[in-house]
């Protein structure tokens, strides 16, 4: 009779465990990627009252007679069915469509999770909500090698190196009514010889920082900044009785510097700008165009009897004077009225001798020397260049930039352009290996019906040389490109800015046979090039294959890493360790690591999270079953108790 009571107790225990599991499932009904569990029971060893007997020729066999001794928990299994995916509109959220788990680490232990609610921490690491680092493969060199060991995914400070242009693809149309090429009366080579003597170079502006670590007191030594003295003491510029705080004393020092008769301050003609940074720091910066190569130093502010100043000095940048561009060209043949010369971003038009020159015009003199003098005068009036032509007997014009070099002189490129023919031209932007942009020109000259010569030229002053023989474009009678008779010429470009040479072969110069035509429509030539300047990371996305794609400030995207996924022979054998994490066990098997969307691993879906796989309707049903089981077992105990009570009552 006692055994029935203990059987009832075992039933209470296992049903309580079942309720515990159900309660945990329901508690995590909204936990990201949570996997519910279920309880299975097993019976306990049974007591044999009558052993089994075999049959004989005269009697039948006897089955064993056994009384069970209760129940126990057979297993608590994790249901590894995947939950539904929910869109979150958060680019740092990721879900796995299919099998696999993300691999994460706390620096000591490797763990696994289906919860992809990641963040990017202050150091650029991709991390879980509880701080574990997400593992995968980062870009090394020019590629992502997924055969290497796993590392924390990091997207901090990603940059993209510049790539030089080495391919050009042309599309569009040439008007079939284009006139035959006429080199014109005044090509550039007959009007002037152009030469660059000195290219402009931006200056480096000096900047110095002085931080006051403790308030000055009367008795400290006077302060000298760049030879300008600020006195410290009672009744002086820095008087601790009236300017006791660090911030007030910084204000007093700046006031002394900006009002004193020195090189410091904000007045026109002075070299420096003095400003306050935070409450304890003075910043002295050279004015643009006035760098002189000098350094600014600070001495003094030393307490009586001490050897260390109350100031911390930090020289941020040493100044360096910039180089202004100097350019020259000769007028070797006089202009004709209506000709235009372009110098930098200014255009000047030649007007007939005896006419009155207006804005942007110059009068054609009797000789090239007279014309040079007139042109020098109008260039000087614009104030961008200081122009001269030596003596009145010289037709050479020399230009010196007036613009302060600290103001990005490079935008004032010097060129000499005279309309010289009726060729069809198209400006082309290319990049060198340093990421700097340059302009070259495709020049197309009609030589006969359906036939054109072409060449590539440039006025870019940082292109030291450009070699491009004349290619040939031939069209069929229906306006399509005759690729058999079209002749392409390679382009080789050498730069003077330190960039590597560009050599665009004939195979990489493409006139699209389907999209480059000659018909009666207007001329409209377009092109596609490769190459780009350097870029900094703007944002990061992850595609379905787990590839981390960086979007850069230069408009390009680049593969920067890959997230790893792990699969297990027995996923149900993983052990829950909290924080939505699992640990491998002896029965789960070893992790099979690889990239998403390979070897039956699932795909990554960004902007989504996996929901809990708990089914509330099923859990409530199981709760009712567990409740009834618990009640029934409690009745066994109470019934056994009543029988025992009757047994005790036999003796009265």
What's the rounded mean pLDDT across residues 56-71?
Answer: 81
- What is the pLDDT confidence band of residue 359, given thresholds at 50, 70 and 90? confident
Helix (H, G, I), strand (E, B) or coil at 204: strand
- CA angle (311, 314, 315) in 5-degree steps: 135
Q: What is the token pair recorded at 484?
A: 């058999």
- What is the pLDDT confidence band of residue 508, given thresholds at 50, 70 and 90? very high
Pick from 75, 67, 69, 71: nearest CA to 12: 71
The pLDDT tens digits of the residues spanning 88-121 come to 988 889 999 999 999 999 989 999 999 999 998 8
Q: In what order do the strands lie in the sheet with 509-519?
A: 509-519, 168-175, 524-529
Please state whether beta strands 223-225 and 298-300 pair in parallel, antiparallel, or not at all (unpaired). antiparallel
Higher pLDDT, 451 or 344: 451
Q: Inter-axis angle of helices 616-649 and 2-27, to 10 degrees? A: 160
**Which residues contact residue 48 at a Cβ distance below 8 angstroms, ignoring those fewer than 6 apart?**
64, 65, 66
- Predicted pLDDT of residue 195: 54
**Which residues contact residue 547 at a Cβ distance below 8 angstroms, ignoring those fewer than 6 apart?**
144, 559, 561, 562
- Predicted pLDDT of residue 190: 42
- Predicted pLDDT of residue 414: 54
- Given a cut of 50, whether residue 410 has pLDDT beyond it is no
What's the rounded mean pLDDT across residues 480-502?
Answer: 93
Bridge partners of residue 195, in order along the sequence: 328
The pLDDT tens digits of the residues spanning 190-228 come to 445 555 566 667 777 888 899 999 999 998 999 988 778
- CA angle (365, 366, 367) in 5-degree steps: 90
The pLDDT tens digits of the residues spanning 6-45 come to 777 888 898 888 999 999 999 999 999 999 999 988 888 7
Domain 168-183+421-529 falls in which CATH fold? Tick-borne Encephalitis virus Glycoprotein; domain 1 (2.60.98)
- Predicted pLDDT of residue 140: 81
Task: Determine the Cα–Cα distance for residues 490 and 456; give it in Å rounded to an integer.
Answer: 10
- What is the pLDDT confidence band of residue 69, given thresholds at 50, 70 and 90? confident
Higher pLDDT, 449 or 386: 449
- Given a cut of 70, whether residue 261 has pLDDT beyond it is no
The position carrying tokens 């009068």 is 363
What's the rounded mean pLDDT across residues 590-613?
Answer: 92
Pick from 175, 65, 136, 88: nearest CA to 449: 175
Higher pLDDT, 482 or 342: 482
Most confident of 124-128, 260-264, 295-299, 418-422: 124-128
- Predicted pLDDT of residue 368: 81
The pLDDT tens digits of the residues spanning 158-198 come to 778 888 999 999 999 999 998 888 764 343 334 455 555 66
What's the rounded mean pLDDT across residues 616-625?
Answer: 90
Inter-residue contact 101 to 112 (CB < 8 Å): yes
**Which residues contact residue 488 at a Cβ distance below 8 angstroms, ignoring those fewer than 6 apart?**
471, 506, 509, 511
- Predicted pLDDT of residue 312: 87
- Given a cut of 90, whether residue 136 has pLDDT beyond it is yes
Pick from 120, 118, 115: nearest CA to 129: 118
Pick from 415, 387, 268, 394: nearest CA to 331: 394
- Given a cut of 60, whether residue 431 has pLDDT beyond it is yes
What's the rounded mean pLDDT across residues 538-564?
Answer: 86
Q: What is the token pair recorded at 171?
A: 């599309």
CB atoms within 10 A of CB 226: 18
Helix (H, G, I), strand (E, B) or coil at 76: strand
- Predicted pLDDT of residue 647: 79
- What is the pLDDT confidence band of residue 353, given thresholds at 50, 70 and 90? confident
Inter-residue contact 202 to 410 (CB < 8 Å): yes
- Predicted pLDDT of residue 58: 84
- Predicted pLDDT of residue 412: 45
Pick from 78, 80, 133: nearest CA to 109: 133
Task: Determine the Cα–Cα distance for residues 581 and 579; give it in Å rounded to an integer.
Answer: 5
Rg (CA), the chain: 43
What's the rounded mean pLDDT across residues 271-284?
Answer: 87
Q: What is the pTM of this model?
A: 0.53
- What is the pLDDT confidence band of residue 266, given thresholds at 50, 70 and 90? low
Q: What is the token pair recorded at 130?
A: 């509880």
Please state whether beta strands 346-351 and 361-363 pair in parallel, antiparallel, or not at all (unpaired). parallel
Pick from 282, 259, 260: nearest CA to 208: 282
Average pLDDT score over the chain = 84
- CA angle (543, 547, 552) in 5-degree steps: 90
- What is the pLDDT confidence band of residue 338, given thresholds at 50, 70 and 90? confident
Inter-residue contact 335 to 343 (CB < 8 Å): no
Half-sphere exposure of 277 (CA within 13 A, CB side): 13
- Predicted pLDDT of residue 409: 44
Q: Which percentage of the chain shows pLDDT scores above 70?
A: 91
Domain boundaries, the chain: 2-81+614-649, 85-153+539-610, 168-183+421-529, 207-317, 326-411
């Amino acid at each position: 009779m006692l055994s029935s009571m203990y059987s009832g107790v075992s039933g209470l225990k296992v049903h309580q465990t079942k309720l515990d599991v159900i309660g945990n499932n329901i508690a995590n009904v909204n936990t990201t990627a949570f996997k519910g569990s279920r309880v299975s029971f097993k019976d306990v060893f049974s007591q044999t009252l009558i052993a089994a007997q075999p049959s004989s020729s005269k009697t039948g066999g006897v089955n064993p007679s056994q009384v069970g001794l209760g129940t126990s928990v057979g297993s608590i299994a994790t249901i590894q069915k995947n939950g539904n995916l929910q869109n979150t509109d958060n680019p740092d959220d990721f879900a796995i469509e299919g099998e696999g788990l993300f691999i994460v680490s706390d620096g000591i232990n490797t763990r696994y999770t289906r919860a992809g609610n990641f963040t990017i921490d202050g150091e650029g690491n991709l991390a879980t909500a509880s701080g574990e680092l997400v593992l995968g493969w980062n870009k090394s060199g020019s590629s992502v090698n997924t055969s290497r060991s796993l590392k924390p995914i990091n997207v901090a400070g990603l940059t993209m190196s510049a790539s030089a242009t080495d391919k050009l693809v042309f599309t569009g149309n040439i008007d079939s009514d284009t006139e035959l090429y006429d080199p014109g009366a005044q090509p550039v080579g007959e009007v002037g010889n152009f030469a660059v003597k000195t290219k402009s170079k931006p200056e480096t502006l000096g900047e110095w920082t002085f931080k006051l670590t403790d308030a000055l007191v009367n008795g400290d030594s006077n302060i000298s900044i760049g030879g300008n003295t600020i006195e410290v003491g009672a009744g002086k510029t820095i008087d601790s009785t009236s300017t006791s705080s660090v911030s007030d004393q910084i204000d007093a020092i700046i006031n002394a510097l900006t009002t004193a008769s020195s090189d410091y301050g904000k007045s026109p003609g002075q070299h420096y700008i003095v400003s306050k940074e935070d409450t304890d720091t003075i910043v002295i910066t050279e004015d643009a165009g006035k760098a002189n190569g000098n350094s600014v130093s600070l001495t003094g502010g030393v307490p009586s009897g001490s050897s260390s100043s109350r100031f911390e000095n930090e020289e941020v940048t040493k100044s360096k004077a910039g180089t202004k561009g100097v350019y020259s060209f000769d007028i070797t043949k006089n202009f004709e009225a209506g000709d235009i010369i372009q110098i930098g971003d200014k255009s000047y038009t030649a007007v007939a001798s005896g006419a009155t020159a207006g804005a942007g015009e110059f009068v054609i003199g009797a000789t090239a020397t007279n014309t040079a003098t007139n042109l020098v005068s109008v260039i000087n009036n614009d104030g961008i260049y200081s122009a001269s032509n030596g003596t009145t007997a010289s037709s050479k014009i020399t230009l010196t930039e007036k613009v302060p070099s600290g103001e990005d002189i490079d935008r004032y490129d010097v060129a000499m352009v005279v309309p010289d023919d009726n060729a069809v031209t198209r400006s082309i932007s290319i990049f060198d290996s340093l990421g700097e942009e340059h302009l070259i020109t495709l020049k197309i000259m009609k030589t006969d019906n359906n036939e054109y010569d072409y060449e590539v030229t440039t006025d870019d002053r940082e292109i030291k040389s450009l070699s491009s023989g004349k290619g040939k474009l031939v069209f069929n009678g229906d306006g399509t490109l005759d690729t058999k008779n079209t002749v392409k010429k390679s382009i080789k470009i050498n730069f003077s800015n330190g960039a590597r040479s560009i050599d665009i072969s004939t195979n990489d110069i493409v006139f699209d046979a389907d999209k480059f035509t000659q018909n009666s429509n207007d001329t409209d030539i377009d092109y596609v090039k490769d190459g780009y300047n350097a870029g900094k990371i703007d944002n990061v996305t992850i595609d379905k294959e787990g590839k981390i794609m960086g979007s850069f400030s230069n408009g390009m995207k680049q593969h920067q890493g890959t997230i790893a996924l792990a699969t297990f022979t027995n996923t149900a054998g993983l052990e829950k360790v909290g924080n939505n994490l699992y640990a491998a066990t002896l029965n789960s098997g070893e992790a099979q690591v690889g990239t998403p969307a390979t070897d039956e691993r699932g795909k990554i879906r960004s902007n989504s999270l996996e929901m809990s796989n708990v089914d509330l309707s099923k859990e409530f049903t199981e709760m009712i079953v567990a409740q009834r089981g618990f009640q029934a077992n409690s009745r066994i105990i109470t019934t056994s108790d009543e029988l025992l009570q009757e047994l005790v009552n036999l003796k009265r």
